Structure 1
Amino acid sequence: MSKRSRLAVFFAALGALVVIAVVVTVAVRSQSAQAGEHPASYAVAADSDACGAGWGGQDAPTNASVPGGEQTFTVTNHTVAGIEVYLQAVDSKKVFLDLEGLGAGAHATARVTIGAGRYRFVCLPADADPVHGPTVSVGPAPPSAQLTPGVVPVTRNDLIPVAKTYTTWVASRIPVLQRQVAELGADTAEGDLAAARRDWLSAHLTYETLGAAYDAFGNTGDAIDGLPAPGTTALTDPGLTGFHRIEALLWSGAPATQATDAVSALSASVATLASTIADAEIDPGAIGLRAHEIVENALQFELTGDADAASGTELATVDANLSGASAALAPLTSILSSRYDGLTATTASIAATQKLIESFRAADGSWRPLSSLSRAERERVDGAVDGTLELLAPVAAICDIRREA
C-alpha cells in the first residue's frame, strides 16, 4: 500500500480560504441568500461566438451595468465539445469563477460575490484560443458582503521552473539518503542494534522530507516506504519492503542482523532511485498540491499511529513532513507572494507547528512516542497540524494550472 494519499482538495468546502469559486453543479447558499435576499441571477452562454451572453440582460451589450454583490450564474455550454469558463476581472486579470470540463450541452450553476469593477466571461475551448465575452461594469457591493477572492491564473509555464528547482533539491538529497542507508547496513551487519535504530531513523526522516516527489518515484517509492497491506502488519506482510519492514524488525526484539537482508533490499531500491532521479518527471502542476498533501499524510498516517511499526517515532516523521512541506513551498514563493495573502501566515504556521512537535524531542535526540502524549498534548498537536493544513489548502487551489485568458 502506498503512503500517497488521495489527491482530493475540496475547494468548495474551504470557506473563506477558497481562492476560486470552483466547479460545482449546485452552488452553496451564501449569507445573503440565507438571510432571505435574492441575488441577481443570470443564464449565461458559453459559446465560441457569444461567450458570456446573458449577463446583464438577455442580449447584454458591451459595457452593460449590473449591481455589485452576489451573482448567480447558470452557465450552459452551447458548443459541441467540452469547454472551460472563467469569470475574470478585465483590469487585474484575476479569475473569480472557474468552471472546468463543462461538457457539450451541459450547464453548471455557481454563485460569486463581486465588488465594483469591470468583468467579463472568458470561454476556453480545448483546442482553440480563448474567447472574451462583453465587458460588464459592476457596481459596489453591499458593505456587509464577503467578496469572493480572485487570483491571477498560474500557467504550466509559470510552474516549469518551480518543478526544475524542486527536482534539483530532491536530487541533492539522494546521496545523503544513500550514505545513511549504507551506515544502517553496516550497523545491522555488525549487530549493533542501538546504532542501527539511530541510523534507520536518520535515513527515514531524510526520505520523509521528499514528499512532493513521491509520485515521480513510482514503484520504487512504494518499495522504499510502502505500508503493509490491509489485514497484515509490517512483520507479517510478505510483500512489504523498505523502511517499515526494517523498522518492524529492529524493534521486534530480534537481533539487528535479522534486518540485514531487508536493508540490502532498501539499499538496492535507493540505488535505483539515484540512477533514475535525473530523468524523473515531477509534474509542475503537482508541487502546490503536494505541499498540502504532505501535511495531510502526516495527519492521516502518522498522527493516527497507522504508519508506526513499533519504533514510536511518529512525531519525528511529522517534523520531517513539515520540513518537506516547506521545501515544496519554497520554490513557489515568487508565484504565491502576489497571489496569496496568507503566505506569511502559512510559513509561520509551519514553523510554529515544528517548534511544538520538536518540544517532544529529548536532549539526546530521542523522541517521545505518540502514545505517551496526554490528551491535552495530542489536542495541541492535532490542532496545530490541522491549522497548517488549512492554510496550505489555498496553495493547492492557486497553483492549479489554468490557461492564460
Structure 2
Amino acid sequence: MSARPRFRRPLLAGALALAVAGGALGFAFASGGSPAAAGAALAVSVDKHACGAPPARLPAGPVAFEVTDAAPTFVTVYLTDPTGARAYAEIRWLGPRHSLPLTGSLAAGRYALRCVFSDGPVVVSPGLVVTGTAPDTEPGYRPMTSTDLEQPVLAYRAWVQAALPGLQSAVRTLDGDVARGDLSAARNDWLPAHLAYERLGAAYNSFGDFDDAIDGRPDGLQGGVDDPGWTGFLAVEHGLWHGAPAARLRSLTQKLVADVTGLIADFPSEDTDSEDLPLRAHEILENGLQFQLTGQEDQGSGTTLATLDANVQGTQEVLSLLAPLLRERDPGLVAGVDAGLTALRGQLAATHPAAGPWPAAASLDRATRERLDGTLGGLLEQLARIPNLLAARNAA
C-alpha cells in the first residue's frame, strides 16, 4: 500500500455528487434573490415537447419560476436571450418529477427558457418580453464551452513546466546536504524545496503517481511513519526532525531527486483535464485548511503555515489565468478573491518576523487562529463558485 497523496478530493465535490445522486441540483446566477423575494413563483412544467409556457410579458426586475421536470430524464434549464448566446439563470440537472426555482432579475428585453435534456433533445419555450426598468438587473453570461479553458490550461502547464527545474535544483541541494552529512543545512534547505513543490498546486492530477511518491502522507500505510514504502518530502521531514541517521535520509533524498527528475521527463506526456483547473482554484486552499492550518500535515518542522502560504500563491496563479473568463461571468468575484488572498498572505506573514522562522500551527494564539480561519473560510465560500461558473455548457 502506498502513502496517501498530498492532494485530496475535497468536501465540495462529494457534496455535489450526493446532491446529483439525490435527484436534483440547481444553481441560479442571479442577483434577484429567492422566489420569496421576487413574489409568488410562476409554475413552469417542462418536457421534451415544450420547455414550459412562461408568460408572454413581465415587468423588469426580479422574476422567479418554479420549474418541474415532467420528462423521464434529467434536464438542464436556462433562462437565455432568444438566441441562447447569453444566459441569465440556470438549473443544473433537474431530476424527473422534481421541482426547483429558477430566479433572476431581468432588464427590458426578449428572453426564453431553454431546456437541454440529458439524452439529447433541446427545446426552447415561446418568447418572453420584459418591459420597463429596474435596478440591479442581470447582465447575463456567455455559456462556457469545453474549448474555452484550453488556453488557460496550456498557460498553466507552461508555468508548471518553467517551475520544475527550480524544484529539481532545490531537491538536489537538499540531497547534497545529506550526502555530506550536514543535517543542519538539510533542515534549512528542506523548506525551500518543499515550498517549490507546494506552489505548483493545481497540477497534482497531472503528476500521476509522482505526486504520491514526492509528497505522500503516511496515513494509510501499514507501518505508518515507519513504513519502508513511505518516501518524499514528508518522509524526509520526519527523518530530519526525529533523529534519523544520514544513511537512512540519503536513501530518501536520492529517491526524491529521482522522482522529481522522473516527473520532469513525464510531465509533457501527462494530460490536464480542462475541467480540473477551475476545481483546483477551490481545492488547493480547502486542502490547506484541512491539513496546513490545522498542522495535521506537520512531520516535525512546524512549517505548515509556510506551506499554506505557498498554497495561496498557487491559488493566485490559477486565479490569474481564469480571471478573464470569470470577469465575463461574475465581474466582482475576481476582485473579491484577489483581496481575500492578499489579506490571507498578509495575516500569514504577520505570524513570524521578517526572515525569521515560521511558528508551528499548534502554537498560534486563539485570536490569530480565528482570524486566519475566518479569512480562509470566507475565501473558500467565494472560490467554491468558480467550478460551476466555468463548467462547460456546450448545449446551452
Which of the residues 120, 133, 147 maps onto 2:112? 120
Which of the residues 72, 84, 106 maps onto 2:65? 72
Partners of 2:138 and 2:219 in 1: how far apart?
43
User: Shift of residue 114 of structure 1?
Assistant: 2.9
RMSD, matched Cα: 3.0
User: Shift of residue 213 of structure 1?
Assistant: 0.9
2:314 equivalent to 1:324: yes
Q: Deviations over 1:253-283 (max 9, x none)?
A: 2344431111122222212211111122111
User: Shift of residue 304 of structure 1?
Assistant: 1.2
Aligned to 1:170: 160
Q: SS of 2:148's equivalent?
A: helix
Aligned to 2:126: 134
Aligned to 1:205: 195
Partners of 1:73 and 1:32 in 2: how far apart?
8
2:38 equivalent to 1:23: no
Matching residue's letter, 1:229: D
Ranges in structure 2 where 5+ consecutive residues have no aligned partner: 17-23, 28-32
Counting matched residue pairs gives 377
Aligned to 1:60: none
- For the 8 Å contact 2:80–2:112, the answer to whether it is kept is yes
Q: Which stretch shifts more, 123-132 or 303-312? A: 123-132
Aligned to 1:374: 365
Aligned to 2:40: 39
User: Shift of residue 359 of structure 1?
Assistant: 2.0
Q: Deviations over 1:198-234 (max 9, x none)?
A: 2211111011111111111122111111112248786
- For the 8 Å contact 1:95–1:153, the answer to whether it is kept is no
2:301 equivalent to 1:311: yes
Q: Which stretch shifts more, 114-123 or 299-308? A: 114-123
- For the 8 Å contact 2:35–2:101, the answer to whether it is kept is no
User: How high is the TM-score relative to the length of structure 1?
Assistant: 0.83
Aligned to 2:12: 9
Q: Deviations over 1:84-107 (max 9, x none)?
A: 33222448712411322x56x554
- For the 8 Å contact 2:107–2:134, the answer to whether it is kept is no
- For the 8 Å contact 1:156–1:284, the answer to whether it is kept is yes
Q: Deviations over 1:48-103 (max 9, x none)?
A: x42x22323xxxxxxx124553423233153x655433222448712411322x56
Matching residue's letter, 1:3: R
User: How high is the TM-score relative to the length of structure 2?
Assistant: 0.85
User: Shift of residue 332 of structure 1?
Assistant: 1.1
2:334 equivalent to 1:333: no
Aligned to 1:184: 174
User: Shift of residue 194 of structure 1?
Assistant: 1.9
Question: What are the residue-to-residue correspondences of 1:345-384 with 2, within 5 Å?
Answer: 345-384=336-375
Partners of 2:205 and 2:221 in 1: how far apart?
25
Aligned to 2:54: 55
Partners of 1:364 and 1:142 in 2: how far apart?
54
Change (3 A) 1:147 1:12: farther
Change (3 A) 1:149 1:397: farther
Q: SS of 2:202's equivalent?
A: helix
Matching residue's letter, 2:126: P
Partners of 1:269 and 1:106 in 2: how far apart?
52
Partners of 2:137 and 2:219 in 1: how far apart?
46
User: Shift of residue 324 of structure 1?
Assistant: 0.3
Q: SS of 1:119's equivalent?
A: strand
Matching residue's letter, 2:306: A
Aligned to 1:236: 226
Ranges in structure 1 where 5+ consecutive residues have no aligned partner: 14-21, 57-63
- For the 8 Å contact 2:195–2:307, the answer to whether it is kept is yes
- For the 8 Å contact 1:43–1:54, the answer to whether it is kept is yes
Matching residue's letter, 1:6: R
User: Shift of residue 41 of structure 1?
Assistant: 3.1
Partners of 1:233 and 1:138 in 2: how far apart?
67
Change (3 A) 1:159 1:77: farther
